[in-house]
Structure 1
Amino acid sequence: MATRAGEFVDNAPRIAELDFSAMRMRVPTDRYHSAEFAARERALLWMRSWQFVGRADDIPQAGDWMEYRLFDQSFVLVRGRDGRIRGFVNACRHRGNAFCEGKGRSARFTCPYHNWSYGLDGKLLAVARPDFTGTLEEFVGDKDQLGLIEVPADIFAGFLFLNPDRAAAPLGETLGEAAELLAPYRLEEMVPCGLNVREGLKCNWKVIMDAFQEGYHVQGIHPELVPAMDESQERYRFLGDHSVATAPFGAANMAHSGLDIQIAAIRNLPATFPGVADALPRFDALVERYRGADGTLPADASPRDLLQRAMRETLVARGLDVGGLTDNQISDNQFWILFPNFFMTIHAGEATVIVAQPHTSGDPNRCFWHVMNLQWFPPEERAARRAELLEIAEGDHFPYFLALEQDFAQMERQQRGLRNQAQASLTLTRQEVRLAHFHAAIESWAYRA
C-alpha cells in the first residue's frame, strides 16, 4: 500500500496500460431480460452475496429495526441492547408468520398471530399458553432451538450490509482492500442530505450498474459535464470482483479551453456535486488573488489547483480530518463498484451512492434504485441535516438533479432496445473495461457450482 491509500488509485493504470487479452468485450443481451438467467442470479448471486440495506443511523437506538426485502424473501435488521446490529429471517418459528413490516422500534418482537415473542438477540422469550399448564419444554420442546434464524449482518463505513447466506464469508473479507482504501474519507461521519430516494425503474438492475461504470456516455448524455471532466485521464484498479476508477475534475480539454471556461465549469459543479458549493467562495477568492493583470493564472495555480486548495481549507475549517486524502481525492471523484450492486462516487466530504436492486416481483425488466447523497457536517449539525428515506410510489417519479434525470431516461430507453431478440450481444469499447470486468464477475457467480 502507498504512503496514503489514495495514491494507490492516483497511480493506477490508464486504458493504454491495461491488458485486454483475456477480457470478453461482448455481453449477451439475454442477461438483461431472460427469466432463466434471472433465476440463476437469484439463486447463485443474490441469495449468497453481501448487499446494502441502509445506513447504520437508520436504526440508531436499541430496539430500532428495519425490514429488508429481496424478491419474496424478508429479513429484519435490529440494533440490540448491546449496540450490535443483527439480521434475522422475518418469520416466526412457530407458524412462519412475518412479524415486522417497514421500520420501527420494539423492546421485543411479538408475532401477531399467536403471540410468540423474541428478544432483540433473536432468542425465544415466551409463548402464549391460554389452555396449557405444563412446562414450556413440554409445550414447544427445546426453546433454545427455536430462536429467530440469524443471517450475517455487518456495518462498513456507516453502511448496513446483509447476506442471506448463513455460511457467507465475513463482510470485511469480502471487501478486502476496498475497506482500507475508503477509510480516509470518513464515510461513517457523513449523513444523507437532500437526496435519499428509492424508486422503481423499467430496466434490469445491471443497466443501472453499467451506466455508472463508464464515462463514455458523458459526451452524449451529460454534455454540460464535458468541460469539467477529462475522461482521457481515467485510471482503473480491479480489486477482486470490485473496482474503482477516477478521472480528473477541472482538467478537461486543458489545451483547448480558456481560463474562463475552466473556472465556469468548476463553478457549475454544485449542480451535480452539491458539497462543492461550500468551497466556491474560497475558490473565487483564490482565483482573484492569483490572477495577474493580464487575466491569467500562474502555472502552479491552475483552476484545478485552486479548487483543491479551496476544498481542503474549507473542509478543515469545518472540522473534517482530510489528512489521509491526496489532493486528487480532495477534488476528483473516485467511482467505486462494491460488487454486486453498490456504486459510489466520492471525493472529500461528499459521496453519491446508487444501489440497484432486482424487483421484488422477479421481473428482470424491472428494478429499484436507491439514490443517496452523503455529506460531511460537524456532529452538531448532522441530525438537522439528515434526510430520511423517501419511497416513491409506483407510477410516480422523483425530480432528480439534471445528470440523474438524464441517466434515468436513458436507462429505461436502453432496456427497450435490449429486449430486441435480433441483437444477441452488446459490444463494449476499451473505455468500458469496467463493464467487461463486472460482467465477468456476474458470470462467475451465475455459473458457479
Structure 2
Amino acid sequence: MNKPSEKFEILPQEQGGDPGVFQQLLKQETVPVPDYLAPHNPGFGDADLSVDRYASAAFHRLEAEKMWPKTWQFVGREEQIPKAGDHLVYDIVDSSIIVMRGDDGVIRAFHNSCLHRGRALRMNGGTVGQLKCPYHGFTWDLKGKLASMPCTWDFKHLEGRNNDLPPVRVDSWLGFVFINLDENAQPLNDYLDALPEHFRDYAFERSVIVAHVQRRVEANWKVAQEAFMESMHARVTHPQLLTFTADCDSQYDMYGDNISRSVTPMAVPSTHTRGVVEPLVLHDILEESGRMADSDGSAHTLPEGQTARQYIGELNRRIFGEASGRDLAHATLAELQDAILYSIFPNTQIWSGYCGNIVYRVIPDGNNHESCIFDVMLLWRHKEGEVPPPPAKLNRLPDDQPFSAAAELGALGPVFDQDMRNLGAMTKGLRASKKGTVSLASYQESRIRHHHETLDKYLGLGGGK
C-alpha cells in the first residue's frame, strides 16, 4: 500500500512529555499486568555533574583502580563458546581475561598473561586444544593447569609452586556470561537485584545472537552508555521515530545500586506530535523501528477499529510465539513491543520482552579516556529442545564506517549512526565547556544520575563501596 498521510503537526518542544502514558496504556491491557511494570523511581537530587567525569584522564584512572576491578561485567553469550576450547577475550583497561569452555563443559576465566614472561596467551577469541604461549611454549590445559614447559631442567626453582593460570570469577545468568576481577565480590545473582525476577518469563536462555556489530567511538565510555539511558533526545536526534515512539513520555525506574530501567511506549505517537493517524503509526513502526516481527510497512493494512498498538502487539505475539514455540497468550502488549531497556552497572544494557531484544555494551578503549568500544548484539529465540543455529560472528567495523554499513542491523543501523554523531561532538563540547558541569533533567535523566551515584560509591566519592 502507499504510505499513509504524513500530515501531522510537530508541537513546540516545551509542550511535550507525560511520564504517566505507560501506566495509562497498561490499564488498557486485556491480560494480567506483571507487578514489575509498576513505577519504581526513588528520586534524586538536581546537582550538576562535573565534566571531569568524562574529560579527565585522572578520573579514568580512578575508575580503572577502584571500579572496573570490583564490578560484574558482561563478556558474551554461552552460545558463543559451545565446545571445549572455545573462548572469548575480554579486555578492560589494563586487564585482559580469557573466558573458556573446558573439556568438562565448565566455563572458566583466567588472567590472559603467561606466567613466564607475561605475554598475552590469546589476542582474540577462537578455539584451541590448549593454551600455549606463542613466545616460548609454556602450555596450560583447558582447566588452566600447567601442562608443560620448555627446558624443564632450567626451571627447577618453579617446582612446588602453584603454576596454574590465576582464575577470575565467572558466572552465567540466562546465557549471559559475566566476570568479576574481585575474588570477594557478591554473587552475580545478588548483584543483579530485581533483574532475574523481571526477566523470569522471557526465555533468554534460549536466545541466540543473530547480529553482533562493534565499532570504536570517539567518546568516553560513559557518554556512550548514557546515550541509551534516556529517550528525550529522540525529538531532535531521531525525528523519524516520533510517529510511533512516546519518547518524552517514558517511565524511568531504579532497583538497588546496579539496575535501572527505561520504558518507552511504542506504536503510539510522541506527545510532541498532534494529528498522527493510526495507519501511519503502523507503517512507520514496521519500517523504522528495527525490532518488530516484520519490517515491511507496505505489507500490512490496519483493520478498521483496531489501533496500531493492538495490531503490532498481536503480530508480534504470533510470530514471536512461533519462533520460540511458546503460547504467548498471557503476554502484555507492552512486553511484546515496548522499548523496555535495563542497565546493568557499569556498562551493559539489555532490552527485555519476548523478542526483538538488543544488547549494548560499552568498554573503555584501553587507557584512552576519550574513546570506547561500542558493541550491539541482536537476540532471537529458538524452540526448546531445538538445536539452535550458530551465533552470528562479530562484525568489527572500521573506525570510518557507519553502523548503517552493517546490513544485519537493518533499520537500526541508521538510528545508531544518528546517536554516534552526537558522541564525538560530546567529546569536543565537554573539552570546551566553560561552565565545567552538565545539568541533568530531574526525571528523564534520572537513570544517568543513578549511574553516577553508583559509580561514586565504588570510587569512594559518595558513601563508599
Q: Which TM-score applies when normalising by structure 1?
A: 0.85
Residue in 1 that maps onto 2:159: 141
Structure 2: runs of 5 or more not aligned: 1-30, 406-412
Matched-pair contact (CA < 8 Å) for 1:77–1:88: yes
CA distance in 1, matches of 2:433, 2:270: 40
Q: Distance in 2 between matches of 1:130 and 1:335?
A: 54
2:22: which partner in 1? none
- In the alignment, residue 415 of structure 1 is paired with which amino acid? T
Give 1:12's aligned residue. Answer: 39
Q: Tell me the CA shift for residue 229 of structure 1.
A: 1.7
Q: Report 1:62-81 matches (<5 A).
A: 62-81=84-103
1:422–1:181 Cα change, 3 Å: same
Residue 180 (str. 1) matches residue 192 (str. 2):
no
Equivalent position SS for 2:52? helix
In structure 2, distance between residues paired with 1:424 and 1:256: 34
Who is 2:323 aligned against?
318
Residues in 2 aligned to 1:60 and 1:181: alpha-carbon distance in whole angstroms:
27
Report whether the alignment pairs 1:424 with 2:436: yes
Q: For the residues of structure 2 that align with 1:73 and 1:304, how far apart are their CA atoms?
A: 46
Q: What is the one-letter code of the residue matched to 1:205?
A: W
Secondary structure in structure 2 of the residue aligned to 1:407: helix
Going from structure 1 to structure 2, the CA distance change for 1:333 and 1:320 (only over 3 Å counts) comes to farther
2: CA distance between counterparts of 1:89 and 1:161? 14
Separation in 1, partners of 2:139, 2:183: 23
Residue in structure 2 matched with residue 265 of structure 1 by the alignment: 281
Take 1:398 and 1:36, find their aligned partners in 2: how far apart are those partners?
Answer: 31
* Count of residues in Structure 1 that have an aligned counterpart in Structure 2: 421
Could you tell me the TM-score, scaled by structure 2's length? 0.83
Match of 1:335 in 2: 341
Contact 1:271/1:402 (<8 A) preserved? no
Q: Which residue of 1 aligns with 2:128?
A: 106
Residue in 2 aligned with 1:445?
458
Q: Percent identity?
A: 26
Q: Is the 8 A contact 1:283 1:306 kept in 2?
A: no
Residue 374 (structure 1) shift: 1.6
* Matched position secondary structure for 1:434: helix
Kindly indicate which of the two structures has a greater share of residues assigned to helix. 1
- In structure 2, the partner of 1:344 is 350
The residue that corresponds to 1:433 in the other structure is: 446
Identify which of 381, 384, 399 aligns with 1:376.
381
Give 5+ residue unaligned stretches, structure 1.
Answer: 292-296
Question: What is the deviation of 1:191?
Answer: 2.1
What does residue 92 of structure 1 align with?
A: 114
Deviations 1:183-210 (A, max 9, x none): 32222222222x4111111111111111
For residue 125 of structure 1, give the secondary structure of its aligned residue in structure 2. Answer: strand
Over the aligned positions, Cα root-mean-square deviation in angstroms equals 2.8
Quickly say closer, same or farther: Cα 1:429–1:254, change in 2 above 3 A.
closer
Cross-structure match for 1:126: 148
Structure 1 counterpart of 2:213: 197
Matched ranges for 1:188-267 at <5 A: 188-193=205-210, 195-241=211-257, 242-252=259-269, 261-267=277-283
The 1-side partners of 2:284 and 2:438 are apart by: 34
Q: Which amino acid aligns with 1:442?
A: L
Tell whether the 8 Å contact from 1:282 to 1:310 is kept in structure 2 after alignment.
no
Shift of 1:254: 7.9
Taking the aligned partners of 1:25 and 1:81, their CA distance within structure 2 comes to: 53
Counterpart residue type for residue 317 of structure 1: E
Q: Is the 8 A contact 1:275 1:375 kept in 2?
A: no
3-state secondary structure, aligned to 1:422: coil
After superposition, the C-alpha distances for 1:290-344 in whole angstroms (9 at most, x for unaligned) are x1xxxxx1xxx42212221221122223344346643310121201111111122
